[in-house]
Structure 1
Amino acid sequence: MRRPIDDLPEYRSRVRGCLLGGALGDALGAPVEFESLGGIRRQYGSAGLTEPAPDWRGKVGLITDDTQMTLFTLEGLIRGENVTAVRRAYLRWLDTQQHSSPPPADGGVRTGRLREQRWLYSRRAPGNACLSGLRHGQAAAPAPFGEPGPVNPGSKGCGTVMRSAPFGFRARSARHAFELAAECAQVTHGHPTGYLAAGAFAAIVHFLMNDLATDDSATDSAPLAQAVRRAMDLLAAYPSHEETTGALRAAVSLAAEGAPSPERVESLGGAWIAEEALAIAVYCALVNPEPGDIRQALLLAVNHSGDSDSTGAVCGNLLGALHGEASLPGDWLVHLEGRDAITELADDFAAWSTGGHEPTGDWLTKYPGD
């Protein structure tokens, strides 16, 4: 079977779709992230948020730390495709939260082109565990799966999930995507549920990106539903999977129960923790699985009392990976912060993954090896 990664235009569309879709969901949810559902309805009407809205600055389309960290995840994979390289990329992201402009290059961590983009130097409600984990000091080896990690061992915030879509883009297998995402999640979050949820998300993206969700023996032909089931089968092999498995099982069951609503979304939790964020995003995508459904999926993903930008981002990652860039609402993309830079990074990753780049001086300036 010919996979999207074997077809550069198709693969590039999927990578763009995943990154831009995630950024759209992130920006859509950011203005209501800390609002209750009742507060959202009081401000925007009984239907809640129905289109991109200005945030407290009066700006439309601004992304948050979710998209920032996702971009640095991707950069780390281009530069090294291992935990050390990804952690160093996250340290470059940490600079964007601690400085108003790029610090001088140092020939070590502070290298590459992404860190030079001034629009990224803006603090957008970063997660405490992400910040404290990166300030921890020296890198520590990941713990065996199922055991508490070495950094923030009690933390399972959704910061592990919201940044992990890129691990599914190029991995040799779903298991490889799962395990690399889970190991890199331990850079900041040590609770097994936190890092296993990141692994499950990366595996779902891998199945979608590679058209590997289809299983002739399955009764449900929907590729997203099958991708989720296959990721759950993979997840079940790891110790301490139960919370993530339970959350995903609840999302799948809820999707079969009737018309979607914000109240149904809220029954899955507040999304401040990893397994709940993943479950809500999966539910919103499952009940809006077609290319023409992305607006409704993202709106459903952000109209609730929880971590709206993260659930919007993860939902957008899923549907963008499945359907590609052309499925995204163009009138929303017009307002998206950093759109050109996100697109360029997506294209660079696609070219690198398919052997379509030349390791010239300019490329090595953008992505020096880590």
Structure 2
Amino acid sequence: MDRQDRAEGVLLGLACGDALGRPVEFRSPGAIEAEYGTLREMVGNGTHGKPAGTITDDTEQALCIARSLVERGEFDPEDIAERFVAWYNGGPFDIGIMTADALRRIDDGASWDDAGQDVWEVKPEGSNAGNGSVMRCAPLALAFADDWDTLQRVSRDSSRITHADPRCTHGCAALNLTIAALLDGDEHPLASALDALNRDAPESLRDVLEPIPGGIEAGELSNSGFVLHTLQTGLYHALTADDTETAIVNAVNEGGDTDTIGAVAGAVAGARFGASAFPERWLDALMETDELRGLARKLSTPEAIF
């Protein structure tokens, strides 16, 4: 498997996990099982009432980042923030509370690096560290896979646009370092990522990730929108499954914040197994497949654009 195949797998996996999880978002595992058994197919209606294969804010914001990187030829957080605002003003059917609050502030004139900080500071513990930045950050791993110091910095900065909590900013870094390690075929990608993670990363982040893959059981996972729960559950399924489809299906069938847990698991599983391992029926259901492949190809050869 070549690096381009893995790179395409990252963006396609993010979108497939997002789209598979969209119709069952906020449902319990029992409710999903009662209706679908094990949900394996892209289905329509359900949460948000959209056609099968419809992506949500996870992939839409990831596309904003990927397009900015390709078109600007650099990481430009102000440009990314402007793209987020334009997307927000288009009236997306799904958007997180912290993201909406921060983008509203930017639209009202706040700078990209103040908006997320301001929102974070007024949110109480328990609602200040959502998964709205880890779900979208994977394109950065493709562009900066060979420069881990820069990858950590841009991952944290991309999070700060809307999610300034250190668990979110360093969570994006940990996720992207794991993806970068997988692009090089690392057999222990999460361990390598945690070894490289900045020393000031929160201990709570390390505590939930260090047991993966062998020191935690599936029954101990949580399915909430808390960033640490999403990272732990998504990475667990991506790194323990035998194939991409199983990783994404298992993640989505956890219930709860299914689109984002699926997107995180999908991005990592895509890097692990490559785009060639994806079920064609899933890729056929996505309207964005060709664009995602094209962006991934460009981002995985950054010398061509940076």
- Partner in structure 1 of residue 10 of structure 2: 18
- Match of residue 133, structure 2, among 160, 173, 181: 160
User: Unaligned stretches of 5+ in structure 2?
Assistant: none
C-alpha displacement at 1:202, in angstroms?
A: 1.0
Task: Answer whether contact 2:84 2:103 (CA < 8 A) is retained.
Answer: no
Task: Answer whether contact 2:56 2:94 (CA < 8 A) is retained.
Answer: yes
Q: Report the TM-score, using the length of structure 2 for normalisation.
A: 0.87
State whether structure 2 residue 225 is matched by structure 1 residue 272: yes
Structure 1 65/58 Cα, relative in aligned 2: closer, same or farther at 3 Å? closer
- Partner in structure 2 of residue 342 of structure 1: 292
C-alpha displacement at 1:273, in angstroms?
A: 1.5
Task: Answer whether contact 2:18 2:59 (CA < 8 A) is retained.
Answer: yes
- What are the equivalent positions in structure 2 for 1:239-278 lying under 5 Å apart? 239=201, 241-254=202-215, 257=217, 260=218, 264=219, 267-278=220-231
- Match of residue 74, structure 2, among 63, 68, 81: 81
RMSD, matched Cα? 2.5
- Match of residue 94, structure 1, among 85, 109, 112: 85
C-alpha displacement at 1:343, in angstroms?
A: 2.2
- Partner in structure 2 of residue 231 of structure 1: 193
Match for 1:227: what amino acid? Answer: P
C-alpha displacement at 1:173, in angstroms?
A: 2.2
Match for 1:132: what amino acid? Answer: D
Task: Answer whether contact 1:271 1:306 (CA < 8 A) is retained.
Answer: yes
More helix by share: 2
Task: Answer whether contact 1:17 1:317 (CA < 8 A) is retained.
Answer: yes
Identity in percent: 29
State whether structure 2 residue 142 is matched by structure 1 residue 169: yes
| Alignment deviations for residues 63-99 of structure 1 (CA, whole Å, 9 cap, x no partner) | 11000111111122231533xx234223223323322
| Alignment deviations for residues 13-35 of structure 1 (CA, whole Å, 9 cap, x no partner) | 22211111110111001111111
Structure 1 282/65 Cα, relative in aligned 2: closer, same or farther at 3 Å? same
Structure 1 151/187 Cα, relative in aligned 2: closer, same or farther at 3 Å? farther
- Partner in structure 2 of residue 205 of structure 1: 179
Structure 1 76/28 Cα, relative in aligned 2: closer, same or farther at 3 Å? same
C-alpha displacement at 1:159, in angstroms?
A: 0.8
Task: Answer whether contact 1:157 1:273 (CA < 8 A) is retained.
Answer: yes
Structure 1 80/131 Cα, relative in aligned 2: closer, same or farther at 3 Å? farther
Task: Answer whether contact 1:236 1:245 (CA < 8 A) is retained.
Answer: no
User: Unaligned stretches of 5+ in structure 1?
Assistant: 5-9, 100-121, 214-222, 358-368
Bigger Rg, which one: 1
State whether structure 2 residue 112 is matched by structure 1 residue 130: no
Count of residues in Structure 1 that have an aligned counterpart in Structure 2: 294
